[in-house]
Amino acid sequence: MTGYSRRTKLQIERSQQMTNAIQPLEVPEFSVEYTPTKIEIHDYENLERAVQAYSHRYSDIVVTDDTESEAKDIRAKLNKLSNALDDRRKEIKKQYNEPYDAFANDIKALQATLAESINPLDTALKELTVHQRERRQKHVEELIIEMAPNYEVSPDDIEIDSKWLNKSTSKKAVTEGVAAAMKLIKAKRDKLDTDILTIEKYAKVQKVEPAGWVDQLKQGQDVEYLMKAIDNEVEQQTARKREQEAKAAEEALHQESKGNAIVDTNTGEVVSKSVTLKIVATIPQMNLLKSFMDSNGIKYMRVGA
C-alpha cells in the first residue's frame, strides 16, 4: 500500500475486514448418524388379553352402599395396573430420548458459541437504531423551527408524525409532510379568525356580548349553529323583556313613588328602589354588565360623563 497515508491505510484495512466479515456464512457440511429406533412390545397379544380380561371382569360392578368398600378396592387395583403400564412407558420414553437429548445439547452448545457474537451485535444494532431515530427527531425539530415562520405558525403547534422518523422516509417526504401540516394549521387558524370576526360582528348587530359565543367557536362549534343560537337567545331576551314590561305595567297601576323608592299601594312593600352606583370596570366587563341588566329588565341611565 505504498503511496497511502497511515490513516488511509487503516481505513482500507478496516474496510477489507468489514468486507470479509459480511461474506456469506455457511455451516460446514456435517452428517448426523441416526438409526430410527423400533419400539416393539413382545407378546403384546398376551398382555392385551390380560388387560381386557381385567377390564371386562369388573365392567359390570354395581356400586351400592353394600358394595362401596369392594368397589373402592377394585378401583385401586385397576389404577395400580394402569399406573404400572404408564411407568413402563415413561421408562422406555426416557431411554428412547437419551440419544436425541445428547444430540440436542450438542447443537445448543454450538448455538451458544454463535450467540456470543450475535448478542453484542444485536444490542449494538438496537442502540444504533435508537441513536439514528434520535438524530432524525432532532432534524425534524430543527426543520420545523426553520419552516414555521414561512407559514406563520408556531413550531409548538406542529405534532411530529411518527412516519417522519422512519428510516425509509426521505428528507424530501419529511419536508413535504411538515409543509402540509403547517398549511393545514394555518388554514384552520385563518378560518377561525374569520369565523371569530363573523360572530363578533353578528353579536354586535344583535346587541349581545360576543365573548361567550367566541369561546364556543374556539372549542369547535360552527358559525351557522352559533348564529342560530344567538338568534334564539335574542328572541328569548325579547320575550322576557316583554313579559317584564307587561308585568311592570300591571304593577304600576297600584304603585306610587315615595322618595327614591316605589311602593306597592296594596301591601306597602317597596318593590323597587333607585340607587346611584359608581362602577369601575373594563369595557368588556361593562358590556357584560349591560347585557345582564338588559336581559333581566333592570333599568339604568348614564349619570355624568
Q: What sign does the CA torsion over 137, 143, 146, 150 have?
A: negative
Q: Name the residue with higher pLDDT: 240 or 97.
A: 97
In this prediction, residue 285 carries a pLDDT of 84
Nearest CA-CA partner of 212 in 191, 233, 194, 193: 233
Tell me the per-residue pLDDT of 8-51, one tens digit each, with 9 for 90 and over: 545 545 555 555 556 677 878 878 887 888 889 999 999 999 99
Residue 4's pLDDT band (boundaries 50, 70, 90)? very low
In this prediction, residue 295 carries a pLDDT of 73
pLDDT at 305 over 70: no
Tell me the per-residue pLDDT of 50-61, one tens digit each, with 9 for 90 and over: 999 999 998 888
pLDDT at 1 over 50: no
pLDDT at 140 over 90: yes
Average pLDDT of the chain is 85
In this prediction, residue 102 carries a pLDDT of 92
Q: Name the residue with higher pLDDT: 128 or 1.
A: 128
Number of Cβ within 10 Å of residue 208's Cβ equals: 20
Residue 294's pLDDT band (boundaries 50, 70, 90)? confident
* Sheet order of strands, 270-273 included: 255-258, 261-264, 270-273
Tell me the per-residue pLDDT of 156-184, one tens digit each, with 9 for 90 and over: 999 999 999 999 999 999 999 999 999 99
| 160 backbone φψ class: left, alpha, beta (φ>0; ψ -120 to 50) | beta
pLDDT at 3 over 60: no
Residue 118's pLDDT band (boundaries 50, 70, 90)? very high
Residue 2's pLDDT band (boundaries 50, 70, 90)? very low
Nearest CA-CA partner of 183 in 144, 141, 143, 151: 151
Tell me the per-residue pLDDT of 184-233, one tens digit each, with 9 for 90 and over: 999 999 999 999 999 999 999 988 889 889 999 999 898 999 999 999 98
Residue 82's pLDDT band (boundaries 50, 70, 90)? very high
